[in-house]
C-alpha cells in the first residue's frame, strides 16, 4: 500500500516520518499524476489558503475530488481538515467540500506556542493526546459523520466512510492510533480494488 502526502507547504514531513515508522511507503504529491498509485492521501497542516491556491493552480483540486469519488481514503489534519469541509468560516474560504461540516479557522491554540491537551476518543481507552496549532473548530458536523475524538465538548476527530479529519496534529505525537485508523480505511479500498481486478 502506498500513501500520498500533499507536499506543498506545511508539516508533510512529519506525516511521512510517522508512516515510515509504521513501515508504510509514502509519496510526496505535487501533481495529479503523483496521486495515481496511491491508496490514500494525507492533506497536512499548514496554511490552508496557500495550499488551496496551489491545488487550484496545479489541477490537484479536481484530481483530489475525483480521488474521493473513487472511494480512496483521505485524511486531513488541521489545514487539511479545513480543505475537506463543505463550509469554512472565520475567515470564509473556498474548499474541496468533501466532508459535510462547518469549520471555524483559527479556533484553538491562538498562542504562538502550541496547545497540548487530551480528550476522549472511541479509538482507545485512555484519553488521546492532541496538539493544536491554530486548529479549526468543527462547529457543525453533518448527518452520518462519526465523532472519534472530542476536545472541550466539540468534535476534534471525525470520519465519514473513507474520509477522516482531525482538528489537531496526530503526526506530532508518538501515538499512531489515528494514522492506524486511516491506514485501515486505505486498506479497505485496496482490498476492494483487488477483488474487482
In the complex, the smallest distance separating the C-beta of residue 33 from ligand GLN, rounded to whole angstroms, is: 26
Nearest C-alpha neighbor of 43 from the set 71, 6, 68? 6
Q: Which residues bind ligand GLN (CB under 6 A)?
A: 45-48, 78-79, 82, 105-106, 133-135
C-alpha cell at position 155 = 468534535
In the complex, the smallest distance separating the C-beta of residue 196 from ligand GLN, rounded to whole angstroms, is: 36
Q: Choose between 160 and 169: whose C-beta lies nearer to ligand GLN.
A: 169
Nearest C-alpha neighbor of 44 from the set 89, 88, 83? 83
C-alpha–C-alpha distance, residues 8 and 1, integer Å = 22
Catalytic residue from among 15, 78, 162, 179: 78
- Residue 171 is a catalytic residue: yes
Please name the residues in contact with 187: beta carbons below 8 A apart, sequence gap of 6 or more: 1, 39
In the complex, the smallest distance separating the C-beta of residue 118 from ligand GLN, rounded to whole angstroms, is: 18
Q: Choose between 91 and 144: whose C-beta lies nearer to ligand GLN.
A: 91
Q: Choose between 92 and 196: whose C-beta lies nearer to ligand GLN.
A: 92
- Residue 38 is a catalytic residue: no
CA 89 to chain centre: 18
Active site residues: 78, 169, 171
Amino acid at each position: 500500500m502506498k500513501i500520498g502526502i500533499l507536499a506543498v507547504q506545511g508539516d508533510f514531513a512529519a506525516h511521512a516520518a510517522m508512516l515510515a515508522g509504521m513501515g508504510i511507503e509514502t509519496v510526496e504529491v505535487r501533481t495529479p499524476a503523483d496521486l495515481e498509485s496511491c491508496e490514500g492521501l494525507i492533506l497536512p497542516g499548514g496554511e490552508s489558503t496557500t495550499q488551496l491556491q496551489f491545488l487550484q493552480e496545479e489541477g490537484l483540486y479536481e484530481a483530489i475530488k475525483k480521488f474521493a469519488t473513487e472511494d480512496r481514503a483521505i485524511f486531513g489534519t488541521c489545514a487539511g481538515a479545513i480543505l475537506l469541509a463543505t463550509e469554512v468560516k472565520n475567515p470564509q474560504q473556498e474548499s474541496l467540500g468533501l466532508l459535510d461540516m462547518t469549520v471555524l479557522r483559527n479556533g484553538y491554540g491562538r498562542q504562538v506556542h502550541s496547545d497540548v491537551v487530551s480528550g476522549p476518543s472511541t479509538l482507545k481507552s485512555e484519553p488521546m493526546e492532541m496538539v493544536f496549532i491554530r486548529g479549526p473548530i468543527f462547529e457543525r458536523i453533518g448527518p452520518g459523520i462519526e465523532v472519534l475524538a472530542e476536545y472541550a465538548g466539540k468534535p476534534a476527530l471525525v470520519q465519514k466512510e473513507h474520509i477522516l479529519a482531525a482538528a489537531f496534529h496526530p503526526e506530532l505525537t508518538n501515538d499512531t492510533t489515528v494514522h492506524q485508523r486511516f491506514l485501515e480505511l486505505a486498506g479497505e479500498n485496496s482490498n476492494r480494488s483487488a477483488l474487482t481486478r
